[in-house]
Structures are given as structure tokens and as C-alpha cells.
A and B are shown apart, each in its own frame.
Chain A
């Protein structure tokens, strides 16, 4: 007989095996999930969840697919949070802090409570990356926020109404497009292909009989 724990889904008690995640425990209890379930592997942020262990004052946030159930866990899912996503043209924006003032001015109303960081399901230093965004240091903001899955828990806890994941998304795109060093060998190769430099080679390969292709494949040299 496997060991079980009592959990409370939206306040209702269920007894479930102790080795389940919150997500599989919900399914064990009979929920057919539509909302609040995505990649089931910790990458998509669909299953943001808040919970409190009975008798404990602290409120925890997690991803339901990545968190084991505990006894007396009170669970509420947060399958959608109204983040503010401003639209912009990536080809026409300015790449200094003025873009943040324009699109996400509320980041300057941050009161430094650090609730976002404490709530982050990925254990990111959210308040720090917002500070970088305020200063227009998009490279650092991008680096610090890179593992963000945009679940929105940080924003749900923010007294200043900041949509942290969207601020970071903008910073990463600016960094990727404008601040990261350009790539010479990529530009060269794109030009060579446009110029038709490989056309004959490829066409010759396409004409080769399978036996010759096998020979070529089985004897190709492999870079160490």
C-alpha cells in the first residue's frame, strides 16, 4: 500500500499518493485538465500554482508539474493572470531606457518590496532584473531573466502592477537583436547561398543513386 497525503484542491480535501506532483494529484483526484496544464515539464508556465501548508503563514508559489504534493497542502491554481503586454515594432524602437519609460513606465513605481523575487517559481532574482530594466541595462536584464517561463506569479504579487515577464521579454529581444555582437560567418553563409554557391553541389547530391549516398554517408569524416 503506497503512502498517501491529504491535500486540499480549492479547499476540498482529497487523499492522494505522496509521490505525485500537484498536477498528477489533480488528475488522480479526477480533474481532466484543460486550463493550467501545458508542457508538463517546467518550460511553459501554464501551471502556476499557489499553496499554503496548514498552520504555516507563508504563501508559496510553484509550477504544479514540478512540485511534489505535501500533507495538508492548500492548493489554488493560477492558470491565467492578466499580464499587460504592450505592442511595439521591434524594428523601430529605441534601444535605451526611454523605451521602458514609454512602454512600461510602471517599473519606475517599484517600491522594492521584493515580493516578485520571493514568489518566482524559477527562483529568479526578479526585482534585480527590473532594476536593470529601469537603468536600460538590457543585457543584464536579459541574462538575469533568461530562465523566466512567464507564469505571471511575480506580477500577481506586485503592488506596483508591473508585468515583469513582459518587461523581460522586451529586454531579451532588444539584447538579441541590437546588443549582442553580430555574426560574420552567418552573414557570409547567407550571402553565399543567395548567390547560388551551393546549388550545383546540392543538385549533384540529389541526383546520386542511394548506394553512392550510403558510401558517402558511411565514410564521411566527422569533426572531433
Chain B
């Protein structure tokens, strides 16, 4: 139930619903898209970015908040940690317990390597768990990996590393098969045909889902498999620095118990960074749909050790974060809501765009509607537009919402809004880190040997914008890939003497560049105490 302040606009939305359902909104031309992005997308706001003064990407612009943690002090000094008696020794060290880390661990174990996982919270505490809408794979007869490639390459502004994207789309059907064989329950017709829908920017219906718990279903299954394989999981333990050997190759990590603050040393022949995204950095003050631990740790660890970043200046703002009620402000409203037919409607009850443009274009268009055009609705914490969910039941039939997006229904129902009968209020929310560490197609960083990266911490797979459903896909494809290749590489590694000299060197660079900062990184967790 909406209070009085929304009633007037709500009545207009309801009065126009039948007409709006019938309407087929035109898609924007390439020029129109460019224009709305340049004027309204947060990535294009020059004064929100800062030029890096040190490190492998010196001279590049990144969000101010990221620059601060990339050019910050270490949590340790190089001489304060004894590397001679490691607390753990393993072939493959996986940092991060999300979908990419779990996939890497399973494949490394399958390949016969000793593998261990460290994660700063619990196994499965990750953005993977929160991915709702689905996972792309071109497995229908009217589709092909080539069409998938074109969709993703164009959606990412023709900036993706082609060989990474080619691997993503070509390995996609195999990834779905692998997950199915692990027991992931995809939505299927009675004859086994996958139930697939569109996502923003797809030209074929290739979004596979497990209701709107797609990521949760994948994550809990992968976690169960990690435990079945008795792979050691060191939880509530963060990696706070990489360890290199005297030859400059990755050789482990310094770990910190999140509760006791005890420091530990893990020595490894190969390392996989699978630390996820950065939503909790709240770039430009945006709320986020991300997990509590999404603080760009892997980028910091890699950068300090000398690994290059790619496209760290591009972030994804998911068009539909919750704008009301306050208690779930910024939470994700899955794109699947629009895939199932709900349209975006302004305060006058007008459909102002095609609901399935790519995410960056849709987000920019919503921001334009709420700013320049003055057609937003005051939601208390900021402006928003309507997402007319009752359309879904009218188009797909009664029961569609409970069948296909039960988590969305549940989330709003707790605050007295029944999305089957009432529309919801949305505004863009910080959702995904498009950029990250630069890797080759084998998953290894381009300039540090035996350092692998998988999942959201990678940059370049998607270019400068990611399509819905390609992230759940990339954590599986590149997670597995990293695990397989890290295990293979480990078999021929002879580690040299361990060192933290890169940490010392980085401190010197900070001083020499005249950077005056009290910040230490990785940040590990946001601080929300007394902030409300």
C-alpha cells in the first residue's frame, strides 16, 4: 500500500496500463544512445574521476574512491610478517568464496591439485548469491555463439578483449551442462527445453534461470560441491597482501583473521584472485545492490603487486534498484521483471523508453527522466520512476509473478507492497565492476606469472558495459578456466624465496609521488556505524 504522496501518480499509471501494455516502444538509435550516455551516465561525469599517480596504470583515470584505495598504505609493513614458516602450504590458493572461487577450487581439485579457499566472510557470501535474473548461453536452435558474441561485443561498446569474449560465448553451453550435472535446477519445460527469456541488449532469448534465485541456486550448489570434495575453506579470513617470490611470480598471500586480526601466511605455487566487485565503495554516493564484502580487494592486492588494470573507469549502474521503501533502498530489482513484460513508466503514466535497452542506456535514460525532464517521483530518499509489475500478470497470466519471480514478490510483500497488483519505484543502483585485472585467455594476469584472476575482479571480458546474464556466465567459464590452468601451472612451479618487497616498493612510490593519505587498504568491509 502506497501512502497519500504517491496516489496521484499511481492513479495515472493505473489509468494508462492497458494502453501501455499494448504499446511497442521504439528502441533508440545508436546516436540517441550515445547522447543519453554522454549526458547522464555516471561514468561520463569527469569530476568524479581521478588520475592515478603511481602503479602500473599511472596516468589512467579511475573513480575517486577507487584511486584512494589503490594508492593507499598497506595494512602491514614488509618486515612485520615472517614468511619463513607459512601457516598454510598448498598448490593453488583461491582468494574468494563466491561463484568464481568455488568453480576454480572444484576444477583445481578435479585436476588433482591441492587447493584451498580463503574467504573474508563465509563460503558463498558473494554477489553470485544475489544474482537473480539468469545466465546466458546460446544453446537454442535459432541462436549461436556468434550471435551471442555480437550482442555482448556491441553491448560492451566494442571494447571487450575479443579472445576473452569468444571464450565466454563458446564455453557457455558447456557451463550450463556442467552446472546441470552438478544438480543446479534450471527452469525447464516438461520435455527438458530450457525456458529462456530476453535480457537488455540480447537479440535472442538465451537467459536461463532458476526462478529469480538463479545465482543463489548456483552458489549453494557449488558450495555444497566444494564441501563434498573436502576442499579446505578458511572462512572469516581475508587476504590483505599478495606474496611474490624472488622472481616476481605469485607465491601466496598474507591473510588476516577478520575477528581476531591474527596474521597468517599462505604459501602457494599459484594464486587465483576471485574477490568479486566493488559496490560497497559507493562510487559517486550511489546505493548498491552488492554484497557486504564488495570492496574491490582483489584490485588493490593485484595493483600493489604490479598487476595491470583494464577499464577500471567503467562501472555498471543497474537501472532498477529499489527507490522505495527506505529499508531496501538500492536493492536489486532483477532485469527479469522487464524480461517478463513490465515497462518503465514516469510520474505522468507515460512509457518513456523501451524497457530492454542495455543497462547503461536504461540507467542513463532513467536518470534523464528524473533530472532534465522532471518526470521522476519523489520517493523520500531521492527520485524514482515506476516499474509497472502488474503488467506481468496481464501479459503472462495470473500466477506468473509467483512462478517466475517469487523473491521479488517476497522482498516487497514484507513492506506491504504486493507487486502483482501495485507497481514499484526504482532508480539506478551501483551493480557491477566492468573493469578489473587484465588477463590472458588462460586466466593469468598479463604481467605477473602464476597470478590468475576470475570473476568480477577481471577486466575486459565484457568491455565497458556488461549484458545481463553474462556475469553468472563469466564466473563459471573463467572460474573453471582459472582453476584448471592454475592447477596445471602449479605442477611445474619451483618457488623461489618469498618476499613482500613489492609492498615496500609501493610505499616508497606513494611517498615519492607526494600522496598524502591516511587510508589503508584493502578496505575489506564498509563502515556503516552511526551513518543513518
How far, in whole Å, are A17 and B531 apart by their CA atoms in the complex?
A: 12
Interface stretch, picked from B53-61, B175-183, B345-353, is B175-183
Q: Return the contact of A217 from the options B153, B181, B188, B193 (Cβ within 8 A).
A: B153
Pairwise interchain contact A28-B530, C-beta atoms closer than 8 A: yes
Instruction: Tell me whether B410 is interfacial, beta carbon within 8 Å.
Output: yes
Instruction: Tell me whether A220 is interfacial, beta carbon within 8 Å.
Output: yes
Pairwise interchain contact A122-B410, C-beta atoms closer than 8 A: yes
Q: Which of B291-321 contact A (CB under 8 A)?
A: 291-292
Pairwise interchain contact B291-A38, C-beta atoms closer than 8 A: yes
In chain A, what residue has the closest Cβ to B192? A181
How far, in whole Å, are A90 and B176 apart by their CA atoms in the complex?
A: 17
Instruction: Tell me whether B43 is interfacial, beta carbon within 8 Å.
Output: no
Instruction: Tell me whether A59 is interfacial, beta carbon within 8 Å.
Output: no
Pairwise interchain contact A198-B258, C-beta atoms closer than 8 A: no
Q: How far is the CB of A30 from chain B (nearest CB, A)?
A: 5
Given contacts A213-B158, A218-B30, contact A43 B407 (CB under 8 A): yes
In chain A, what residue has the closest Cβ to B166? A202
Instruction: Tell me whether B102 is interfacial, beta carbon within 8 Å.
Output: no
In chain B, what residue has the closest Cβ to A91? B181
CB neighbours of A88 from chain B (8 A): 228
Q: What is the number of residues of chain B that contact chain A, defined by CB distance less than 8 Å?
A: 86
Interface string of A70-99 (1 = CB under 8 A from B): 000000000000000101111000000000
Instruction: Tell me whether A164 is interfacial, beta carbon within 8 Å.
Output: no
Pairwise interchain contact B182-A213, C-beta atoms closer than 8 A: no
Given contacts A181-B192, A185-B141, contact A223 B204 (CB under 8 A): yes
CB neighbours of B121 from chain A (8 A): 34, 38, 46
CB neighbours of A35 from chain B (8 A): 236, 259
Q: Return the contact of A38 from the options B29, B122, B145, B185 (Cβ within 8 A).
A: B122
How far, in whole Å, are A17 and B289 apart by their CA atoms in the complex?
A: 23
Interface stretch, picked from A18-26, A105-113, A128-136, is A18-26
How far, in whole Å, are A142 and B221 apart by their CA atoms in the complex?
A: 13
Q: Which of A1-47 contact B (CB under 8 A)?
A: 17, 19-21, 24, 27-28, 30-35, 37-44, 46
Pairwise interchain contact B407-A44, C-beta atoms closer than 8 A: no
CB neighbours of B129 from chain A (8 A): 38-39, 43-44
CB neighbours of A222 from chain B (8 A): 203
Pairwise interchain contact B529-A27, C-beta atoms closer than 8 A: yes
Q: Which of A176-224 contact B (CB under 8 A)?
A: 176-177, 180-187, 189-190, 193, 198, 201-202, 205-206, 210, 213-214, 216-218, 220-223
Q: Return the contact of A185 from the options B139, B211, B228 (Cβ within 8 A).
A: B139
Interface string of B190-212 (1 = CB under 8 A from A): 11111000100001110000010
CB neighbours of B122 from chain A (8 A): 38, 46
CB neighbours of B176 from chain A (8 A): 186
Q: How far is the CB of A133 from chain B (nearest CB, A)?
A: 15
Question: What are 25 A-B interface contacts by the 8 Å CB criterion?
Answer: A20-B532, A28-B529, A28-B530, A35-B259, A38-B122, A38-B125, A38-B129, A41-B411, A122-B410, A169-B221, A172-B217, A176-B182, A176-B221, A180-B186, A185-B194, A186-B139, A190-B177, A201-B145, A202-B170, A213-B150, A213-B153, A216-B150, A217-B150, A218-B30, A220-B151
In chain A, what residue has the closest Cβ to B159? A210
Instruction: Tell me whether B516 is interfacial, beta carbon within 8 Å.
Output: no
Q: Return the contact of A181 from the options B145, B190, B220, B225 (Cβ within 8 A).
A: B190
How far, in whole Å, are A186 and B139 apart by their CA atoms in the complex?
A: 5
Instruction: Tell me whether A174 is interfacial, beta carbon within 8 Å.
Output: yes
Pairwise interchain contact A90-B228, C-beta atoms closer than 8 A: yes
How far, in whole Å, are A65 and B530 apart by their CA atoms in the complex?
A: 16
**Measuring CB to CB, which residues of chain A are less than 8 angstroms from any residue of chain B?**
17, 19-21, 24, 27-28, 30-35, 37-44, 46, 66-68, 85, 87-90, 122, 142, 146-147, 149-150, 169, 172-177, 180-187, 189-190, 193, 198, 201-202, 205-206, 210, 213-214, 216-218, 220-223
Given contacts A146-B211, A214-B30, A216-B150, contact A193 B145 (CB under 8 A): yes
Pairwise interchain contact B182-A177, C-beta atoms closer than 8 A: yes
In chain B, what residue has the closest Cβ to A85? B227
CB neighbours of A189 from chain B (8 A): 138-139, 173
Given contacts A27-B531, A32-B525, contact A183 B228 (CB under 8 A): no
How far, in whole Å, are A61 and B213 apart by their CA atoms in the complex?
A: 22
CB neighbours of A175 from chain B (8 A): 183, 185
Given contacts A186-B177, A193-B173, A206-B162, contact A46 B331 (CB under 8 A): no
**Measuring CB to CB, which residues of chain B are less than 8 angstroms from any residue of chain A?**
29-30, 121-122, 124-125, 129-130, 137-142, 144-147, 149-151, 153-154, 158, 162-163, 166, 169-170, 173-174, 176-177, 180-186, 188, 190-194, 198, 203-205, 211, 213, 215-217, 220-221, 224-225, 227-228, 230, 236, 258-259, 289, 291-292, 326-328, 331-332, 406-407, 410-411, 414-415, 525, 527-532
Q: Return the contact of A223 from the options B139, B186, B198 (Cβ within 8 A).
A: B198
Q: Return the contact of B149 from the options A24, A122, A205 (Cβ within 8 A).
A: A205
Pairwise interchain contact B291-A186, C-beta atoms closer than 8 A: no
Pairwise interchain contact A87-B532, C-beta atoms closer than 8 A: no
Given contacts A177-B180, A218-B30, contact A206 B532 (CB under 8 A): no
Pairwise interchain contact B225-A90, C-beta atoms closer than 8 A: yes
Pairwise interchain contact B411-A42, C-beta atoms closer than 8 A: yes
If A66-B414, A217-B154 are given as contacts, then 13 extra A-B residue pairs at C-beta distance below 8 Å, sorted by A number, are A27-B530, A28-B531, A38-B291, A41-B289, A150-B220, A177-B181, A193-B145, A198-B170, A202-B146, A205-B150, A210-B158, A214-B154, A218-B154
Q: How far is the CB of B529 from chain A (nearest CB, A)?
A: 5
How far, in whole Å, are A24 and B527 apart by their CA atoms in the complex?
A: 11
Q: Return the contact of A213 from the options B154, B230, B258, B527 (Cβ within 8 A).
A: B154
CB neighbours of B531 from chain A (8 A): 27-28
In chain A, what residue has the closest Cβ to B259? A34
In chain B, what residue has the closest Cβ to A210? B158
List of 7 A-B pairs having minimum Cβ-Cβ separation, nearest first: A173-B183, A217-B154, A181-B192, A176-B183, A176-B185, A177-B183, A189-B139
Q: How far is the CB of B466 from chain A (nearest CB, A)?
A: 15
Pairwise interchain contact A39-B170, C-beta atoms closer than 8 A: no
How far, in whole Å, are A146 and B406 apart by their CA atoms in the complex?
A: 10
CB neighbours of B221 from chain A (8 A): 169, 172-173, 176
Q: How far is the CB of B283 from chain A (nearest CB, A)?
A: 17
How far, in whole Å, are A172 and B347 apart by their CA atoms in the complex?
A: 43
Given contacts A146-B211, A214-B158, contact A221 B291 (CB under 8 A): no
How far, in whole Å, are A218 and B224 apart by their CA atoms in the complex?
A: 43
Pairwise interchain contact B224-A169, C-beta atoms closer than 8 A: yes
Pairwise interchain contact B154-A31, C-beta atoms closer than 8 A: no
Pairwise interchain contact A198-B407, C-beta atoms closer than 8 A: no
Pairwise interchain contact A202-B149, C-beta atoms closer than 8 A: yes
How far, in whole Å, are A149 and B158 apart by their CA atoms in the complex?
A: 38
